[in-house]
Chains A and B, each alone.
Chain A
Amino acid sequence: RKEVEQDPGPFNVPEGATVAFNCTYSNSASQSFFWYRQDCRKEPKLLMSVYSSGNEDGRFTAQLNRASQYISLLIRDSKLSDSATYLCVVHNYGQNFVFGPGTRLSVLP
């Protein structure tokens, strides 16, 4: 089993739709969790850190469920500019960062 798993998609959604991505991780000692966004073959950029209490940034909401070892990302009112690959990342302090394979999102006009 891979350490971090994501549905690769693609998710094709119309503008204005709400879309949700899940990510599961296998290392119960993981301490930090992130969602990164990557546009085609460019560098990943931080979208959100994910905290136990859940956090929201505008149209984006991230949730962490430690008991079930998954994190989620919800995007409301999708824009064309949201089209990208979304990478789930987990980190166990003092060790390496592990990236999921990414979920590709296409927002259609």
Chain B
Amino acid sequence: EAQVTQNPRYLITVTGKKLTVTCSQNMNHEYMSWYRQDPGLGLRQIYYSMNVEVTDKGDVPEGYKVSRKEKRNFPLILESPSPNQTSLYFCASSLLGLGKNIQYFGAGTRLSVL
């Protein structure tokens, strides 16, 4: 089954404790992306990657890191989480190219930073 898998689905942590949210896709998509969703603000892009070893900042990259060492994986790293990073996070992937760039989303990760 074609899918984007995020883990964990739920996470409660404390300020400053490094964490990683994993994202994996089995569709051989070139493009992968991380979003956060907050009430009233909609989905905002954090980082995206157009291929292995290629990453770019989205609209809200501060406080986050990513890596793309393999095509299928795109982990999101919070080196020192803060309460303002409490949010709902989505990973997405797609092919590149007009007519093909439909994004498929993971089920989401609810993060609470205390």
A binds B: yes
Chain A residues in the interface with B (C-beta under 8 A) = 31-32, 34, 41-46, 49, 87, 89, 91, 93-94, 96-102
Contact status A45-B105, CB under 8 Å: yes
The size class of the interface chain B forms with chain A is 20 to 34
Contact status B40-A101, CB under 8 Å: yes
Chain B residues in the interface with A (C-beta under 8 A) = 33, 35, 40-45, 48, 50, 56, 58-59, 88, 90, 96-99, 101-108
Residues on A with beta carbons closer than 8 Å to the beta carbon of B40: 101
Residues on B with beta carbons closer than 8 Å to the beta carbon of A97: 33, 45, 48, 103
Contact status A94-B90, CB under 8 Å: no
Contact status B101-A93, CB under 8 Å: yes
Contact status A44-B98, CB under 8 Å: no
Residues on B with beta carbons closer than 8 Å to the beta carbon of A31: 98
Contact status A46-B106, CB under 8 Å: no
Within the assembled complex, what's the spacing in Å between the Cα atoms of A32 and B45? 16
Contact status A42-B108, CB under 8 Å: yes
Partner of A96 from the list B42, B58, B97, B98 (CB cut-off 8 Å) is: B58
Residues on B with beta carbons closer than 8 Å to the beta carbon of A49: 99, 102
Contact status B101-A91, CB under 8 Å: yes
Contact status B105-A44, CB under 8 Å: yes
Contact status B59-A87, CB under 8 Å: no
Partner of A44 from the list B43, B59, B97 (CB cut-off 8 Å) is: B43
